Each structure stands twice: as C-alpha cells, then as structure tokens.
C-alpha cells in the first residue's frame, strides 16, 4: 500500500480494545483489505489511557463526567496524532469539542441492560434490601423506581472487575450493557434483561461510533461503515440527551426504534432516588431527504417536554 494506515485511537480497556478491533476490521475492509490481509497495514489501533480509566474509586460525576473517557483521545485527534477514535456512543457527552464530529455509526448491538446475579433471576426477584452494584445514576434511579428497598453499591471498573466484585459478594446483583457482554463473549452470563420500554437504556447504548475531525466526515471509508437505521435511531436518542442536558448528574434513558421510515421513541428522566419519573413517547414518519434532522428533532421535542416537567428535580446536586 502506498498510503499510510488509518490510525485508530481507543481506550485501553479490554472491552474498548475488543470493540475497536471489530471496527478495525470493518475499516480495513472498507479500505480494500481482503480476508487474511494484515489489518495493521490498513488500520492500526493506538490505545490511549483516559482519566476515566485511571480513576476507579469515585463516580464519574464527582471527577468530571463522561468527558473523562474521551478527553485524552479527543486531544490526540485534534493534534493529528490519530485519524479517528472509536467510542461506545453511550459514553459520549451531549456536546463535542469544536472541530470534532461523530462521523459514522455501524449496526447496533443489543441495546438492553443485562441483569446478572447469583441469587435472583430478575431485578424484581431480589431479596428485600439486596445490594445492587452500579455506578450509573440512570440504572440506580430506574432500579429504585421499581425496588425502593434496594441498597445501591457504587461499582465502577471494567467488565471483568465488576464481575469479580459480584463473585466476591460485594453486591447481590449488577447491571451491565448486554452489548459489551456480547462483544467480550460473555453474553451467557446474563440472567435476564430490563425491558427497554419500561426502563429505556442510555441514549446510544449498544452502538459504536467513529469520531473524526469535521473535515473528514465525508471520506469514502466512513460512508462504507455507516448503518442508516442505527444512525437515525441514535440521532433521536442523542437529541433527547441534548435537550435534557444529559450528564452523569441526570438519570436519562431513551430508546428509539425504526420500522421502515416510521420512528417511534420513548424518553424518560428520573429523580436520583427513583421516586419520580417523567416520560414522553412519540412517533414520526421520516422523509428520505432530511431524516436525520427529523429524528433529532423528535428527540429534542420529547426530551424538552420531559425537562419542562421534571425541572431541577432531575439534577443530582450532591
């Protein structure tokens, strides 16, 4: 090859590298790689340790929010040290640094939250006062809305770390993204799933995204890996995230489904203790020309309505 390989920045965690490896193969194929070719000749992974990976003993909201999983990677992208970055879309803040864009989203994996426990088949079946491990304010609030008797145990770290803490008895159950378990070959550990309509997942959950500099958004290899249906669904969900100023201090869930050009969506936000829940549902038939803008507008509308109703009660203040 006469051209230099695409340099892919990604977090150094086991899950991130597994996800980025999947995208490395997709990108290499889009650049002309044949089965059996050396992927590194077409696209090369560059692991980058982020602040969010280094600090594991506190909630994200205490140390700076979701941006701590992307800050160092985005700096490398803006500096030209990498050509693109692979992220879990649910980890992306509602707003990006100037000059960067979410350029391509491939087909989405399972968006649901997985329930894993040695003592119960479902969240509803946990013993009274059981300990549920999670560092997600959304998962905490949704669980407490159904089971206000549960004790929430702050549980951060990579998937293996959380599973090990569960095995050691530090919690009676944990909630994880099914998509991440599937990509690690651990999908069999799931006992049950949260209903994505009753408890909508994080906006963008299950989807990977390629972040690039704005001037690169129309490169042919990016166009080749895009999934239109996923792109439209997550455009709606991130519209809701933006309207609700979604962060680690707000418990926001959104789930959009596309059937042809018919987009249906549910958005909810809860008070941190789960006592109050505010929900909106909506549907729209998309046009073929402005579909992404229309999908985002639906999310903005529903998210705005939830925010107007919930107000300041939705924001964790301590």
Verify that 96 and 13 share a domain, yes or no. Answer: yes
For residue 2, pLDDT beyond 70: no
Q: Contact 197/255 with Cβ under 8 angstroms?
A: yes
Is 69 part of any domain? yes
Query: What confidence tens digit (pLDDT) does each residue in 7-41 have?
Result: 999 988 899 999 999 999 999 999 999 999 999 99
Known catalytic membership, residue 91: yes
Verify that 150 and 240 share a domain, yes or no. Answer: no
State percent of the chain over pLDDT 70: 92
Verify that 23 and 84 share a domain, yes or no. Answer: yes
Q: For the packed helices 228-243 and 291-310, what is the interaxial angle rounded to 10 degrees?
A: 30
Query: What confidence tens digit (pLDDT) does each residue in 70-105 have?
Result: 889 999 999 999 999 999 999 888 889 999 999 999
Verify that 214 and 233 share a domain, yes or no. Answer: no
Is 269 part of any domain? yes
Verify that 101 and 156 share a domain, yes or no. Answer: no
Verify that 83 and 130 share a domain, yes or no. Answer: no
What is the extent of the structural domain holding 267? 227-306
The per-residue pLDDT for 249 is 80
- List the catalytic residue out of 91, 110, 113, 172: 91
Verify that 129 and 48 share a domain, yes or no. Answer: no
Q: Mean pLDDT throughout 35-58? A: 80
Please give the tally of structural domains in the chain: 3
- At 258 the three-state DSSP class reads strand
CATH of the domain at 18: 3.40.190.10
Verify that 13 and 99 share a domain, yes or no. Answer: yes
Distance linking the first and last C-alpha atoms of the chain: 55
In Å, what is the CA distance from 35 to each residue of 21, 32, 46, 80, 255? Answer: 15, 10, 22, 29, 35
The per-residue pLDDT for 1 is 46
Name the one residue in this structure whose structure tokens are 């070959």: 185
Verify that 119 and 162 share a domain, yes or no. Answer: yes
In the structure encoding, which two tokens stand for residue 192, read together? Answer: 């049950």
Verify that 231 and 216 share a domain, yes or no. Answer: no
Verify that 90 and 214 share a domain, yes or no. Answer: yes
- At 245 the three-state DSSP class reads coil
How does residue 318 score in pLDDT terms, banded at 50, 70 and 90?
low
């Amino acid at each position: 090859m006469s051209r230099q390989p695409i340099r892919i920045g990604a977090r150094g965690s086991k899950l991130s590298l597994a996800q980025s490896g999947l995208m490395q193969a997709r990108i290499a194929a889009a650049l002309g790689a044949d089965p059996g070719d050396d992927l590194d000749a077409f696209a090369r992974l560059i692991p980058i340790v982020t602040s969010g990976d280094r600090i594991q003993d506190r909630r994200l909201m205490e140390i700076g929010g979701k941006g701590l999983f992307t800050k160092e990677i985005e700096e490398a992208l803006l500096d030209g040290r990498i050509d693109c970055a692979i992220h879990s879309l649910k980890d992306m803040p509602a707003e990006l640094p100037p000059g960067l864009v979410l350029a391509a989203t491939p087909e989405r994996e399972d968006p649901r939250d997985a329930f894993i426990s040695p003592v119960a088949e479902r969240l509803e079946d946990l013993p009274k006062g059981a300990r549920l491990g999670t560092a997600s304010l959304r998962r905490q609030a949704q669980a407490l809305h159904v089971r206000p008797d549960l004790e929430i145990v702050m549980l951060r770290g990579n998937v293996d770390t959380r599973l090990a803490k569960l095995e050691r008895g530090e919690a009676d159950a944990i909630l994880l993204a099914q998509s991440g378990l599937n990509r690690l070959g651990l999908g069999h550990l799931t006992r049950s799933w949260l209903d994505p309509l009753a408890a909508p997942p994080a906006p963008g959950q299950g989807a990977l995204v390629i972040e690039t500099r704005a001037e690169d958004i129309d490169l042919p290899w990016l166009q080749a890996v895009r999934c239109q249906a996923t792109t439209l669904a997550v455009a709606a969900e991130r519209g809701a995230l933006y309207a609700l100023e979604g962060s680690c201090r707000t418990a926001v869930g959104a789930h959009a489904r596309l059937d042809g050009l018919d987009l249906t969506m549910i958005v909810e936000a809860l008070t941190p203790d789960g006592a109050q829940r505010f929900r909106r549902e909506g549907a729209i038939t998309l046009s073929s020309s402005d579909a992404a803008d229309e999908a985002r507008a639906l999310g903005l509308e529903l998210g705005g309505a939830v925010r107007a109703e919930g107000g300041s009660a939705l924001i964790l203040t301590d």
